[in-house]
Amino acid sequence: MEHKEQSAHRQDTSSPQGGPTDLRDLSLERLVEFVAGLGLPGKRAKQIFARLHRPGVLDFSQLGISREVTTLLAEHAAMSSLSPVAVEKSADTTEKFAFRLEDNAMIESVLIPEDGRHTLCVSSQAGCAMGCRFCLTGGLGFVRNLRPAEIVGQVLAVMTHMVAGGIERATPRELLNNLVFMGMGEPLANYDNLLTALKILMDDHGLGFSERRITVSTCGLVPRMDDLGRDIRVNLAVSLHSADDAVRSSLMPVNKTHGLEALLAACRRYPLGKKKVILFEYIMLKGINDSLADAHLLAEKLQGIPSRINLLPYNGSGDTEFSCPDGAQTLAFQKVLREAGFNTFIRQSRGADISAACGQLAGKI
């Protein structure tokens, strides 16, 4: 099922190149500073921040604050919002949202419902510079980083869609149970904007997502992993895909800069709360990384790291050099890891029929 809507809605034009300040690019701390410059008190900033991050609020007139303040904001700032240009629904109820940005760049988000809960897979870049061979997004090349407003805007747009579809919760933050930064792009390559977006999403005056409900994935940008652990508390996922340096380098160019030894050392340094683990993602590629020897090597390399391992079936699309091993081989691989003491799960592919599964996001309508 596909649903077409209008292009991304914007109230004014907020440009990184000298345009008016987009209020949705600002953390609460920076918004307080901005409204103070307009002569407004800090408590007013908190009210504006809360209203900015409600589903369905598309322009200043919908903030529900005084006309005087609304006029002042409209004169000195912009307020961007996203609306999907297309929504596709999979047979398994997964939904993919396509957004056209103000410069016509395309990004996608994926809503995954399961047992009454909803997880949103969020994009952090248009395209990706990492060039992982098995990933369609990497094949696009890098277009640009997303601004905080464009990252948070995906969350607000999907929440608005859910409310319009009749999903009701006591508060907006209850609409989505989990946010995973596993969409288009390498989140840590857009670090400053990602960090601001996380602060906005986690602020109790706004959407108030707790740290346990947000997961940031990386292909292994080691210095930024250290920064993330220092600057904010969220769950960490690592796209590993091989425990052999040569194989991983052939699949993921980042490994030539930050090899396995450095990556796993960063994982050991990453600050984890009580009972927290690092999620390791491992795409099963037939004849490349799926042997029992590969499983034993993976178990050896991850020893001492609090871990959960997700084995992902490869989601090919069109002509591809890769294929997925059969179920028996994947089960045998899982068995080796479980016997070594690792919580290991075979993740069922969701949304493959609408090109919404892992590695399939390509920013196409």
197-236 confidence digits (pLDDT tens): 999 999 999 999 999 999 999 999 999 999 999 999 999 9
pLDDT in tens, 76-124: 999 999 999 999 998 888 999 999 999 999 999 999 998 889 999 999 9
Identify the pLDDT of residue 8.
Answer: 35
Nearest CA-CA partner of 239 in 115, 134, 365:
134
Q: Catalogue all structural domains in the chain, each as residue range(s) with its CATH number.
A: 9-80 (1.10.150.530), 86-354 (3.20.20.70)
Q: What's the burial of 210, exposed, middle or buried (CB within 10 Å: 0-12/13-18/19+)?
A: exposed
Cβ-count burial of 178 within 10 angstroms (0-12 exposed, 13-18 middle, 19+ buried)? middle
Residue 288 has a pLDDT of 97
pLDDT at 357: 52
Q: Which of 108, 150, 186, 281 is catalytic?
A: 108
Let me know if 267 is a catalytic residue.
no
Nearest partner of 153 among 19, 54, 14, judged by Cα:
54
CB 351 within 8 A of CB 112: yes
* Tokens found for residue 90: 């999979």
Q: Within the chain, how many helices (H) and strands (E) appear?
A: 11, 16
Write down the catalytic residue from 121, 128, 219, 358.
358
Low-confidence ranges of the chain (pLDDT < 70): 1-18, 170, 317-319, 350-365
Query: Would you call 108 a catalytic residue per the annotation?
Result: yes
